[in-house]
Amino acid sequence: MKTYKQRLFFSPLLAVVLLLQGCYSFSGTSIPDNVKTISISNFSDASGMGPANLQQFVTEDFKDYFQRNTNLRVLPQAGDLQIQGQIMSYTFSPAAIQRNDIPTGGNSNVSIDQAGANRLTIVVQINYTDTKNPVNNFDQSFSSFFDFPPSQDINQISRAQIQKITERIIYSVFTKTVANW
């Protein structure tokens, strides 16, 4: 049997939990009750680089992430929330430049700059529309990168390695759109 003090403590706590439940999910999202669907358009690739199916990878990764982490139903178009994206850049460049001294004979050396790593950077432009609350709309670029050993060529980059980069981009978009962090 609960004491009077226990009931006084738990009653307001229960009321707060029920109040928050209407607009906050304990999964980390904050989606209003009137938002039920999201549409994620097929991404286009304006970078002219990367694997031929990069836009398909990115589109499917976005859809999968939102399906796994929200209760929103993913529609092909006209969702309550709408994401349109374009891959703007897929850049492979030297990173972590190191200066190496190479002896030339005698007492002199030649300094050569060499990449200690190669970096793949992906930039995605996102146009987000919230049909229920247009104040949340935005058009913004998101980017992420991953460093590879200098011996790894751009053609040796796997789908799994690209996915590490896109997961960070998707997480950033997710937090800006439905997590409001």
- Total domain count, the chain: 1
How confident is residue 133, by pLDDT bands cut at 50, 70 and 90?
A: very high
24 falls within a domain: no
Over residues 12-39, the mean pLDDT reads: 61
State which residues form the domain around 152: 34-179
Q: What is the reported pTM?
A: 0.75
100 falls within a domain: yes
Q: How far apart are CA 38 and CA 30, in angstroms?
A: 14
73 falls within a domain: yes
Assign residue 49 the CATH number of its domain.
Answer: 3.40.50.10610
46: left (phi over 0), alpha (psi -120 to 50) or beta: alpha
How confident is residue 98, by pLDDT bands cut at 50, 70 and 90?
A: low
126 falls within a domain: yes
17 falls within a domain: no
6 falls within a domain: no
